[in-house]
Amino acid sequence: MKTAQLSPLTPLSFLKRSVEVFPDKTAVIYGDKRATYAQLGERVGRLAAALVRAGVNPGDRVAFVCPNTPAMLEAHFGVMLAGAVLVSINIRLAPREIAYILNHSGSKIVVVDSEFSRIIEEIQGEIPSVQCVVTVVDAGFPKTLEGPEYEDFLTGTGAEPVVPLPIDDDIEDELGVICINYTSGTTGQPKGVLYQHRAAYLNATSEIVTAGLTSDSVYLWTLPMFHCNGWCFPWAVTAVGGTHLCIRKIDPAEVYDLIEREGVSHFCAAPTVLIALSSHPSAQGRKFPLRPGGGPVRILTAAAPPSPHIIRTIQEMGAEITHVYGLTEVYGPFTVCEWRTEWNSQEAPVRARLKARQGVAMLGCGELRVVDEQMNEVRRDGETLGEVLMRGHSVMAGYFNDPEATAKAFAGGWFHTGDVAVWHPDGYIELRDRKKDIIISGGENISTVEVERAIYEHPDVLEVAVIGIPDPKWGEVPKAFVVPRPGANPTAEDIVKFCRERLAAFKCPKAVEFGELPKTSTGKIQKFVLRQREWQGREKLIN
């Protein structure tokens, strides 16, 4: 029996639909500039045509080194429309790190924001695959690189969009890959994570449901688009015909102003961003306004386990916060702490602790397990530790040109996250640590996240990171690195005493250091930097 041919699942269909349904609706806001969906569709078509004219072939890689500007949003559709693969690069990486990514991916064209031209200037003699550099001139930063300027690059092509190439959304070939996202490389060189049309489509629809996006949504780009393709929100917001509010960098005062002035309804942020927002002078006595359609501003938070304290603080400011969890290898969020109405009767501290859990698999993402080293599921008792495994449509196709790492990551047919968690009786998971961050002190396992959560409750603490440091008797013991709140001056004795009132003695930090914390551009605290410093001169970072 002959059946109708099915259309492939691709994010390209999201833009096509919104151009048809919402042609005159504002799609993008950037400073005093605005573009409708019809205009966005035209610019995406011009970008695709320009890439083809520049010699980009199916499967070629096109890299973007840009902050959250309209060009970065256009890249999420124009590159794939040309049949190419988007490589979105972290703008805060060192030049040599960017050179490695460009060379490993074999990127043919680089589109770079003029603020970051110096990075490409420094490595131009080291990136032989790059045939053309296009500069996005913006924010008063001059063009210093040879090659076309982005607007001229687009203007030199016809307005008619190129005809999309056939897409096979089931087969892992060059026509199925949509992006390559590089991991942070904390344990070696970064790995290129392969994203596909079908999975990007499905993950974006999961985000729509989880965040509650509609055509009335105004999404503020506080999350970097280069990070897991902005958790697939470039596609999710476009799918519903919402408005993208682009900003180059996060300034708390500007964020609050934009939320009120532009009627922001949604944004995503790492816990460190929420801490910066809530502790800024602009936050004093402030409440988030209700969004224009009614209801509170909705915030999704992830990137590191948030403390119940910051969740409670943001909720008290009037926002609705949802905790999600995932990795680069699963397109960003994979789980959500799905809220249950029966929890509303709990006291505020209890509600915050419940909301700080990583939760259950998001609708449509796949399956979730917590297992021991033999891949047997651990007891759902909220105490037994195990590794989080995932499988489903929203899991990467593999690592680019790295079959060995791919095979290791998918041992036993499931993706191994390397995250340690407990499984609660209600089916919700709660992270305890990365495998490498668990402290084994005198044979006892200590969760650094548990210790951090206790310290976060201290009224003088703004941020904290806990790691294991060498100890001649116990092998390793906890050390806390604390950032005090502005104007506060806690002592190490204060912190330790506070912990002893809340934790078993062996879990309490044996040392406390005050100062700034090293972070990634997405707000994750780089514990490995602290660990390398504390364990310097030793052959391994454990005893």
Q: What is the pLDDT of residues 193-241, one digit of tens each?
A: 999 999 999 999 999 999 999 999 999 999 999 999 999 999 999 999 9
477 neighbors 510 (Cβ within 8 angstroms)? yes
The pLDDT assigned to 539 comes to 47
Distance from CA of residue 1 to its chain's centroid? 45
Helix (H) or strand (E) run with residue 271 in it: helix 271-279
The C-alpha atoms of residue 287 and residue 276 are separated, in whole angstroms, by 15
According to DSSP, the residues that pair with 399 across neighbouring strands are: 193
Helix (H) or strand (E) run with residue 39 in it: helix 37-53
Give the number of other CB atoms < 10 A from CB of residue 490. 18
The C-alpha atoms of residue 428 and residue 84 are separated, in whole angstroms, by 39
The SS3 of residue 167 is: coil
Average pLDDT of the chain to the nearest whole number: 89
The pLDDT assigned to 135 comes to 98
Q: What are phi and psi of 224, to 5 degrees?
A: -65, 135
162 neighbors 139 (Cβ within 8 angstroms)? no
- Both tokens of 286, joined, read 């402030």
Q: Which ranges constitute the DSSP H helices of 83-211?
A: 95-105, 117-123, 150-155, 197-211
416 neighbors 387 (Cβ within 8 angstroms)? yes
Q: What is the mean pLDDT of residues 175-197?
A: 82
Q: What are phi and psi of 378, to 5 degrees?
A: -80, 165
Higher pLDDT, 453 or 216: 216
The two most distant CA atoms of the chain are separated, in Å, by 77
Q: Which ranges constitute the DSSP H helices of 280-402?
A: 308-316, 348-355
Query: Is residue 243 pLDDT above 90, yes or no?
Result: yes
- Write the Ramachandran bin of 195: left for phi over 0, alpha for psi from -120 to 50, otherwise beta: beta
297 neighbors 266 (Cβ within 8 angstroms)? yes
Q: Describe the strand order of the beta sheet including 415-423 as a list of residue ranges.
A: 367-371, 386-391, 415-423, 429-434
pLDDT band at residue 542 under the 50/70/90 scheme: very low
271 neighbors 310 (Cβ within 8 angstroms)? yes
Give the DSSP letter of residue 522.
T
Query: Is residue 435 pLDDT above 90, yes or no?
Result: no
437 neighbors 448 (Cβ within 8 angstroms)? yes
> 287-317 b/e with 16+ CB inside 10 Å = b?
ebeebeeeebbbbbbbbbbbbbbbbbbbbeb
| CB burial of residue 127 (10 Å; 0-12, 13-18, 19+) | buried
Tens digit of each residue's pLDDT (9 = 90 or more) over 119-157: 999 999 999 999 999 999 999 999 999 999 999 999 875
Residue of 323, 18, 366 whose CA lies nearest to 199: 366
The pLDDT assigned to 231 comes to 95
Residue of 132, 15, 169 whose CA lies nearest to 77: 15
The C-alpha atoms of residue 437 and residue 449 are separated, in whole angstroms, by 9
Tens digit of each residue's pLDDT (9 = 90 or more) over 296-331: 999 999 876 777 888 889 999 999 999 999 989 999
Query: Is residue 540 pLDDT above 50, yes or no?
Result: no
One-letter amino acid of 489 = N
